[in-house]
Every structure is written in C-alpha cells, then in structure tokens.
Amino acid sequence: MHRSITLHGHRVGFHLAGSGPVVVLVHGMASSARAWRHVLPLLSARCTVIAPDLLGHGHTAKPAGDYSLGAHATLLRDLLAVLGHTSATVVGHSFGGGVAMQFAYQFPERCERLVLVGSGGLGPEVGAILRALALPGAHLVLPLFAPRWLADVRRATGRWCRWIGLRPTAAAEEIWRGYSALTDPATRAAFFQTLRAVVDNEGQRVNATDRLHLAAEVPTLVVWGARDAMIPVAHAHAAHAAIPGSRLEIFADVGHFPHCEAPARFARTLLDFVATTEPARVSQSDLGARLRAAF
C-alpha cells in the first residue's frame, strides 16, 4: 500500500505492507520504491516491508538542499521513528546500498542486518554513463536527451508492447523508467545533486571499504548479479572478504537488478537470511570501542 507522510515540512512517499520483522528496502539513484514491486508481495508475506521513495525521488519531495548519503540515511531513521519502529534490516540497491551502509554507520543501534545489492560505495569503478553525467555542464545537456514528452512515449510504448504480447526485460524496464523520470525538471535537479555527492568523472567518490570491518557484528548479506555492467561483481567479492561472517550470493545470468530480474530467488535468499540470523544489537558505545581498538 502506498502512503505518504510529512517530515520536516516535506512529503515522503513509501510503500508499507505485511507484518513481522521490519525490512527497509532502499532503491537506487533515479529510481523509486516501485523498483521493489516484484519482491514486495513475496517479502511482505513474512515481514513488515517499508519501501520509501528517497528524497528527490518518486513521490517524495524534491527540495533544493542536502542530498548526501547522511541526509538520506537520516530520512530513513526519521521515517522508521514516525512509523513506530526502533530498528530494521536495511536492504540497499546500487546507490541505496551506500545509503544503507551510511545508515548502519550513523545509527548502529537501529540496524539489525545489512543487505547490499549491486551496491555502490565499495570502490571507484562505476558505469561510464554515470561518470559522464557527473561531468561539468551535463545538467545543461541532459534536458536535450530527456524532453518532457519522453515519459508519455514510454507509457504509450509500454501499452503497445503489452497489446501485441511483448514485454521488455525487467532490467530494461527499470532503466527506461529511471531515464524517463529525468524528464521532470525537479527530479532531474535532485538527481544531479545526488549524483555529484558520490560520483565524479573518475568514478565513485565515496568508498566505505576502509570501514567495512565495523560491520563485523552486523549480519551482512551481499547479493550481486554476475553480469552487472554498472558496478563490477569484483566489488561483491571484496566486500564479502572485508566483512567477517558475511554471506555472498552471486546470481548467474543476472545484471544490475537482481530483485527485478530474479525476484523469486531474491526473496527466498533475503527471507532465509532474516530467518537464520539474529538481529544485531550494536550501540554507539560499541561502535566507539571498535573505533578505539583500531588505533
């Protein structure tokens, strides 16, 4: 069920379904909570699932302001608090993986488990398209390639394809959905603020690999598509090696969207992970002790 609330004077849209252990699904850049639509009914059969639209995305407000990882993580914290939940398993895809890691770092007492899906923030390598969009002046050029009528074309094309019995692949559908979202000027402006907080022309600027050891006490699952062309699968192996006790699941014949391309397997993997691990109980003082031990 799609809902919305007002936080700090801004609308926040989110999907809420199910009952049981709380799982927060964090989408990627230029996406929205709709990206989880294939797995949400499967997960909500056994969990309370919260899938928010991040600031600047979907049905959430798109103000001029802070689009850093910390700001997005704080939005998650505040949404959980308003909904009456003290902690959750946090699942992040792509850019949302960076948000999930930031959430676990800023609010360790609120993160029961961490799930990274084709996650950003684990090394500089990233797709050439995002590097190009991070170039100076890209915000002036993109409107030429994303006119406002493109969204209408996408909807009309989708109806026509369904009428003749054709369906695009799940990955193509998500890419096209994200691209057409950028036809909206406010969404486009928020996209560039978000992008430039984490990516430049040389790749990802934010790298959490030097802090992954801090996740040792948090059950962590790393899920990746073997054919991910956006963020290399080598990042999955490196993260798994750096996080003691983590689990690694590589989906063969899957690209950057495991939750869309293989939703049944993704849901089974995530539900099994939640069912077979105990939620972390890490406090700010525990985090401080681990940081001091690293000196």
Tell me, what's the pLDDT at 56? 95
Tell me, what's the pLDDT at 145? 42
Is residue 43 a contact partner of residue 23, using CB atoms and an 8 Å limit?
yes
Q: What is the pTM of this model?
A: 0.89
Q: Give the active site residue among 72, 93, 256, 259.
A: 256
Catalytic annotation on 66? Answer: no
The boundaries of every CATH 3.40.50.1820 domain in the chain are: 2-124+206-283
Tell me, what's the pLDDT at 291? 65
Helices (H) and strands (E) in the chain, counts: 12, 10
Element (H, E) at 204: strand 203-204
Residues of the chain with pLDDT under 70: 1, 138-168, 287, 290-292, 294-295
Tell me, what's the pLDDT at 181? 78
Tell me, what's the pLDDT at 139? 60
Query: Which contacts (CB < 8 Å, 24+ apart) does range 283-286 have?
Result: 283/108, 283/109, 284/108, 284/109, 286/108, 286/217
End-to-end CA distance of the chain: 47
Tell me, what's the pLDDT at 287? 67
Provide the CATH topology of domain 2-124+206-283.
Rossmann fold (3.40.50)
Tell me, what's the pLDDT at 161? 43
β-partners of residue 11 are 6
Token pair recorded at residue 275: 């069912």
Catalytic annotation on 68? Answer: no
Q: Give the active site residue among 38, 119, 180, 228.
A: 228
Token pair recorded at residue 172: 């193509």
Q: Give the active site residue among 94, 119, 180, 246.
A: 94
Residues whose CB falls within 8 Å of the CB of residue 205, separated by 6 or more in sequence, listed in order: 197, 198, 199
Catalytic annotation on 31? Answer: no
Tell me, what's the pLDDT at 261? 96
Tell me, what's the pLDDT at 264? 97
Tell me, what's the pLDDT at 284? 72
